[in-house]
């Protein structure tokens, strides 16, 4: 079954709406197509800056590409959860960097304990929601 231009625009609009409902800013889902593949791009901002994320899916058919894009958007966490996950990852990288640069364990270990508590808290709230 083929897709019309209106069908494609409708599916892209649906993806943008789903991202907006999850709290993402400026969703910009687009599609590229050539003779052998279809690519659906999922781009969005997580805050008012240039921070955001880009995901894409490639397929040999419009329907398969859009189904895969739907799955990606469905699996995406709400933007507030995503931001928390990213913050904890960045904090973890900072703690690792301190440890790797030879900062005394007396200073790094309390940060590591805080990181562990933050991670557990985040996981507990993810499971509950």
Residue pLDDT, tens place only, 79-118: 888 888 888 888 888 888 988 999 888 888 888 888 888 8
Q: Give the global pTM.
A: 0.74
Please check whether residues 12 and 60 belong to one and the same domain: yes
Q: How many domains does the chain have?
A: 2
Both 95 and 48 in a single domain? no
Q: Are residues 53 and 98 both part of a single domain?
A: no
* CA-based end-to-end distance of the chain: 38
Q: Which residue has the tokens 């397929």?
A: 59
What pLDDT score was predicted for residue 82? 84
Q: Let me know whether 12 and 62 are in one domain.
A: yes
How large is the average pLDDT for residues 51-65?
90
pLDDT at 24 over 80: yes
Rounded mean pLDDT of 47-74? 88
Full domain range(s) for residue 36: 5-75
Q: Does residue 65 share a domain with residue 86?
A: no
Residues 88 and 101 in one domain: yes
Q: Are residues 9 and 70 part of one domain?
A: yes
The per-residue b/e assignment along 10-36, b for 16 or more CB within 10 angstroms, e otherwise, is ebbeebbebbeebebeebebebeeeee
Q: Across the chain, how many H-helices and E-strands are there?
A: 4, 3
**How does the average pLDDT of the chain come out, rounded?**
87
Half-sphere exposure of 99 (CA within 13 A, CB side): 12
Whether residues 66 and 94 share a domain: the answer is no
Give the model's confidence band at 125: pLDDT under 50 very low, under 70 low, under 90 confident, else very high: low
**Is the same domain home to 83 and 109?**
yes
């Amino acid at each position: 079954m083929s897709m019309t231009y209106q069908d494609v625009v409708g599916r892209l609009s649906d993806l943008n709406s789903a991202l907006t409902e999850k709290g993402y800013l400026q969703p910009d889902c687009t599609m590229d197509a050539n003779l052998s593949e279809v690519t659906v791009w999922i781009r969005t901002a997580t805050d008012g800056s240039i921070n955001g994320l880009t995901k894409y899916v490639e397929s040999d058919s419009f329907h398969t590409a859009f189904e895969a894009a739907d799955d990606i958007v469905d699996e995406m966490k709400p933007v507030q959860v995503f931001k928390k996950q990213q913050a904890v990852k960045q904090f973890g990288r900072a703690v690792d960097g301190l440890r790797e640069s030879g900062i005394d364990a007396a200073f790094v270990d309390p940060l590591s304990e805080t990181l562990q508590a933050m991670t557990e808290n985040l996981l507990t709230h993810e499971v509950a929601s």
